[in-house]
Amino acid sequence: MSLQHTFIANLKKFRKLRGISQMTLAELCNMGGNYIGQIEMGRRIPSFEKIEKIAAVLEIPCHEFFVYEENEKTEEQKPKTKEYLQKMPHSVKKEIIASLVDTINKGIKASFDSDNY
């Protein structure tokens, strides 16, 4: 596996472990909205400065992006939802809760506004 493919695979892995979307990660790193997606598709190669920013947001050492693991974890070894939530930054949890509350409120409002009520 090439160094770029290793970087991309690890970026995806650590981003998903933190429960962060590509868009949210880009925002937390003060980068363009689709920048992380372009990296993960192999269309962009980040500078060392940007790799350092991404690593800081994901709370990992920079070198972890370049560590190749031949054997991926089996289903039993993968972290459970509770573990994801425990590792998730507080700001991301707040964002998710706010989004859920907004969606629920819109659904409730729509049910009262509809002709079916």
**For residue 62, which phi and psi values (nearest 5 degrees)?**
-55, -40
Q: Which domain holds residue 86?
A: 78-117
Q: Which residues of 93-108 are buried (b: 16+ CB within 10 A; e: fewer)?
A: eebbeeeeeeeeeeee
CATH code of the domain covering residue 1: 1.10.260.40
45 in any annotated domain: yes
Q: What is the pTM of this model?
A: 0.59
Q: Are residues 64 and 84 in the same domain?
A: no
Q: What is the pLDDT of residue 108?
A: 86
Q: What is the pLDDT of residue 106?
A: 87
35 in any annotated domain: yes
Q: What is the pLDDT of residue 110?
A: 82
Per-residue pLDDT of the chain (117 residues; tens, 9 = 90+): 789 999 999 999 999 999 999 999 999 999 988 999 999 999 999 999 999 999 999 999 999 999 988 765 544 456 666 776 777 788 888 888 888 888 888 888 888 876 655
Q: What is the pLDDT of residue 77?
A: 58
